[in-house]
């Protein structure tokens, strides 16, 4: 079985308060986009073999034993001890630590694939519960439609968000941004306007009110990222923002917009569909 775990972008991100457990309550909108990895899962020929994963594509930083695909398998193995070993092949194109949710998507898609491959009969809510054990962003990729997200990002409310008249460009300069450092510079505060109210307005009005609270801290540390955002606006973006707490900056452009970017050669720049997840449209690898 093969699937294509997709990325997400954050439309606005408000840090509301710091909780007693050390986490922060936030409000954001998760929007799936057509930038995908490729994941294949096959039953192992030897029933006594270990479950393994091979990773290709972008260089994998760290120990693959901590890969969320393997963690997802082990999570289900505890519940279903009869689950046979599998071989997983993951081809990475979504950069790690970029604010695009690539790792979370891999883990969530593994849960969905194993559920289907071995007929585990888990419903969506059960899959969401398992996904939350993997990470705060993982439940979103079970739903994989535009969602308001609250709490740590795990409390989801599907919304109607029609971006079919737009395309999104993502720009990833290869900068690593520590999530801990990003949060360390944040002073939580109640927002002047509720995110749900802002996102319900026309896209053309988002520029002034739809903010990512991480930008003030991250842009001070990495002015290059602010320069990318400003360039997207100069090129005609209707809206531009940092995604999550990573180092990807994205812009929404009208479908017929003509742009010529002059970003450095080492930057990853991709045009993607922004209409994903609004109906029964399938998510396929972006070009």
Return the active site residues: 8, 137
Cα 196–Cα 200–Cα 203 angle in degrees, nearest 5 = 120
Give one DSSP letter per residue of 161-209, joined into a string.
---TTEEEEEEE------HHHHHHT------SS-HHHHHTS-GGGHHHH
Cα separation of 62 and 136, whole Å? Answer: 20
| Pairwise CA distance, residues 12 & 241, whole Å | 8
Contact 94, 36 (CB under 8 A): yes
Q: Output the CA torsion 139→144→145→149 (10° steps).
A: 20
Q: Give the count of alpha carbons within 13 A of 164, CB side only.
A: 7
Count of CB atoms within 10 A of residue 105's CB?
Answer: 29
First-to-final CA distance of the chain: 22
CA 125 and chain centroid, separation:
19
């Amino acid at each position: 079985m093969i699937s294509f775990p997709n990325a997400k972008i954050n439309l606005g991100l408000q840090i509301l308060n710091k909780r007693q457990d050390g986490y922060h309550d936030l409000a954001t909108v998760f929007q799936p986009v057509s930038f995908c990895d490729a994941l294949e899962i096959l039953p192992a020929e030897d029933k006594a073999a270990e479950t393994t994963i091979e990773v290709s594509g972008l260089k994998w930083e760290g120990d693959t034993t901590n890969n969320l695909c393997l963690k997802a398998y082990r999570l289900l193995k505890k519940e279903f001890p009869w689950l046979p070993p599998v071989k997983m092949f993951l081809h990475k194109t979504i950069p790690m630590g970029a604010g695009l949710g690539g790792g979370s998507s891999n883990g969530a898609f593994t849960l969905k694939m194993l559920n289907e491959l071995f007929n585990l009969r888990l419903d969506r809510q059960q899959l969401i519960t398992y996904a939350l054990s993997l990470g705060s962003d993982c439940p979103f990729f079970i739903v994989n439609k535009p969602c308001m997200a609250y709490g740590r990002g795990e409390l989801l409310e599907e919304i109607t968000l029609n971006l079919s008249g737009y395309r999104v460009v993502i720009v990833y300069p290869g900068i690593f941004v520590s999530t801990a450092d990003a949060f360390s510079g944040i002073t939580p505060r109640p927002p002047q306007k509720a995110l749900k109210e802002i996102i319900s307005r026309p896209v053309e009005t988002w520029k002034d009110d739809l903010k990512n609270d991480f930008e003030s801290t991250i842009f001070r540390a990495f002015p290059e990222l602010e320069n990318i955002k400003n360039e997207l606006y100069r090129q005609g973006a209707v809206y531009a923002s940092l995604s999550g707490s990573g180092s990807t900056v994205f812009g929404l452009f009208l479908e017929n917009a003509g742009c010529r970017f002059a970003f450095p050669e080492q930057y990853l720049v991709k045009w993607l569909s922004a209409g994903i997840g609004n109906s029964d449209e399938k998510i396929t690898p972006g070009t």
